Amino acid sequence: MKNRLLTSAGIIFFGLLLVIFSEHIVFPIALAALTVIALFEILRVMGTHKKWALSIPAYILGAAFPSLAYFVRGENTLVFLLALAAAMFVYMMWLMAVSVFSKGNIPFSRISEAFVAVLYVTVSFTSLSLIRYLDRSIGVYFVVLPFVISWICDVFAYFTGSLIGKHKLIPEVSPKKTVEGAIGGVVFAAIACAVYGLGLDLFIADMKVNYLTLVLFGLILSVVSQLGDLTASLIKREYGVKDYGRIFPGHGGIMDRFDSVLAVSTVLLILTLIFPPFTLA
């Protein structure tokens, strides 16, 4: 427990530093490093990290796109997203070629798993980076949202489930999660979004907050957050591992700590592009 608390404090401290100084390129470089580590972790669990024809291009994509997001301006966002989609399509075609020319040594099921993992991790971390630079004047407030929603949802789902949880959610995937806990996580995440919006409204000059949109974001993204957590648990259970890695003592690896955040980040990017929950007046 002591190791977990110390590790949590360290993660929060360095995370806050990165967000505070996210105006600079150190933020996307850090995200690129996290992407590569997360890709290594999930490919290792799937047993494909030593299939270099699969993993090395994945690491290149994972390092490139979160870093390149730093140079994107609002009017170039669509072009950047098209480039990301094109790169993932090329990677998919490459994997298919590798499978074909391996003459059965790398089955299609293996490359399919690798592609889904690489797509998910790379696009999610790239979205997290892109959220920060969509609007450089207030992007720092957007990039906090995935962490607020994911962590509040996780914490209060745990406490609500511990206090009043009676009905198991999906015991075959995560035996400790309850329906009551899941609902508690959604409710408190929505409340946290409203409180976050209030803080922006009170302390940031000229900030215009749409509270209804922000609460809806909390409701939608807290469900997405729990889906990301459950999916990560499903993968670990399928491959018979407890944690994706050991980089954080008591917490596991990057994928163990960012599973919910990764699920939230891309959906948040899409929602923000359509219905920004706050703007500068």
Q: What is the pLDDT of residues 71-119, one digit of tens each?
A: 998 778 999 999 999 999 999 999 999 999 988 788 999 999 999 999 9
For 136, 197, 226, 236, the CA distances from 44, given in Å and listed in that order, are 36, 40, 23, 11
β-strand partners of 280: 207
- pLDDT-derived band at 44, boundaries 50, 70, 90: very high
Percent above pLDDT 70 for the chain: 96
For 35, 44, 49, 247, 255, the CA distances from 38, given in Å and listed in that order, are 5, 10, 11, 11, 6
The pLDDT of residue 276 is 93
3-class DSSP state of 38:
helix
pLDDT exceeds cutoff 80 at 251: no
**In this predicted model, what pLDDT tens digit does every residue of 188-242 receive, in sequence order?**
999 999 999 999 999 998 999 999 999 999 999 999 999 999 999 899 989 999 8
What letter would DSSP give residue 21? T
β-strand partners of 248: 252
> Nearest 5°: CA angle at 229, between 266 and 106?
80
**pLDDT, greater one: 11 or 175:** 175
What letter would DSSP give residue 135? S
Task: State the Cα–Cα distance between residues 42 and 33, nearest whole angstrom.
Answer: 14
3-class DSSP state of 278:
strand
- Which residue type does 4 have? R
Mean pLDDT, the chain, whole residue set: 91
